[in-house]
Amino acid sequence: MNKAEAAALSIIKSRKTDAELRAAELLDALREDPVFSQIEAERDILRFGIAKLKSKNTDFGHLKEKYEEAEKNFLSYLSSKNLKPEELLPQYACKKCGDTGFVRGRLCECVRQLAYKTLKNNCRALITSIDDFTKIDYTFVPEASRAAYKGAADILDRFLHRNGQSRISVIGLSGKQGTGKTFLLSVLANAMMKSCATVLFYNSVQLNEIFLRYHLAPVEEKEDIFEPLTEADFLVIDDLGAENLIKNVTETYLYELLVFRADKLTGFTSNMNAIQLLERYGHRIASRLCSKENSFIIHLDGKDLRFKNE
Ligand SMILES: [Zn+2]
């Protein structure tokens, strides 16, 4: 179970407690009426009597009719209060697991769904809610570039299904403005969140602001600012190269971030090619972004951006 699922599980467990508390409160409120208490007690005594006789294999005699009568009184009391009998039971949000979070020892689907919903809410920057590459409507892509675009989507889809069993730690999408790079990485981000990976999706300008805030923050606050960036299972830097280079900030922390994320997945989109990235950020950063061993760069015009000799 990952962090997102653990957080979802604790919410679901608190739902269980709430549901049980609400049911208990309703019953307590009903029992304040002596009429209800009387009807309930009569029914329960008869039910208990029948169970006792049943265990001894003795004939119920007229107890059964009496019990049915008592049950009828019970139900008609409830209906006079506009209540259904099932409303006296805890109303669990998930019928499959009764808000325990587990079904036959395995994590219930509701935990994953809630984790996914929370992850998505925390990642509002995404430009699409599509979470499956097979659901992309390619008719919106100009016909001339449709095949290349679909090819890129297929590569990302295959990557997704490798389930982390890959040495790739950087996925880059390069190409001109408006070629749908951000959209493709958004679909990948959504698809990863569906399997409860934690995702952060920042424009390079926003990321640069975080770097600056980190730079200026008092020592005791620094970790809280930087840690989410290093901890996220998937971090996307959208439109890399669009930010202003801040001296002692942008390059310093971008490099630090890539080093810390060497065993996690980082994605980026950029209008720049490898040479331009190299010129802008220098060799240390560019070789982490575009390394032959650990990066997978898709150029939407079909060119391969990776450095050949690292
Ligand atoms: Zn459930």
181 alpha carbon to ligand 1 midpoint, in Å? 36
Q: Is the pLDDT of residue 122 over 80?
A: no
**What's the CA-to-centroid distance between 2 and ligand 1, angstroms?**
17
> Which one of 121-130, 163-172, 218-227, 262-271 scores highest in mean pLDDT?
262-271
Whose tokens are 């490798």? That residue is 162
Measure the CA–CA gap between 15 and 91, rounded to whole angstroms: 9
Per-residue pLDDT, 308: 40
Q: For residue 13, how far is its CA from the centre of ligand 1 (angstroms)? A: 10
Q: Cα of 17 to ligand 1 centre, how many Å?
A: 14
pLDDT per residue as tens digits for the range 1-47: 877 888 899 999 999 999 999 999 999 999 999 999 999 999 999 99
Is 203 in a helix, a strand, or coil?
Answer: strand
Angstrom distance (rounded) from CA 277 to CA 213: 24
* DSSP character at residue 139: G
30 near 43, Cβ under 8 Å? Answer: no
Cα of 4 to ligand 1 centre, how many Å? 15
Q: Quick: pLDDT tens for 197-253.
A: 888 899 999 999 999 999 999 999 888 889 889 988 899 999 999 999 999 999 999
State pTM to two decimals.
Answer: 0.69
In the numeric block, which tokens belong to residue 306?
């990776």
Contacts of 29 (CB under 8 A, 6+ apart): none
What integer is the mean pLDDT of 107-136?
84
Give the model's pLDDT for residue 195.
82
Q: What is the DSSP letter of 87?
A: G
3-state secondary structure of 294: coil
Check residue 163 and give its pLDDT.
63
Q: What is the reported pLDDT for 53? A: 85
| Contact present, 241 and 205 (Cβ < 8 Å) | no
- Write out pLDDT tens, residues 84-98: 998 999 999 999 999
pLDDT tens-place string over residues 162-193 = 766 778 899 999 988 878 899 999 999 999 88
State the chain's mean pLDDT as an integer: 88
pLDDT over 70 percentage in the chain: 95
Neighbours of 232 (CB within 10 A): 20
Q: Are 201 and 233 in contact (CB under 8 A)?
A: no
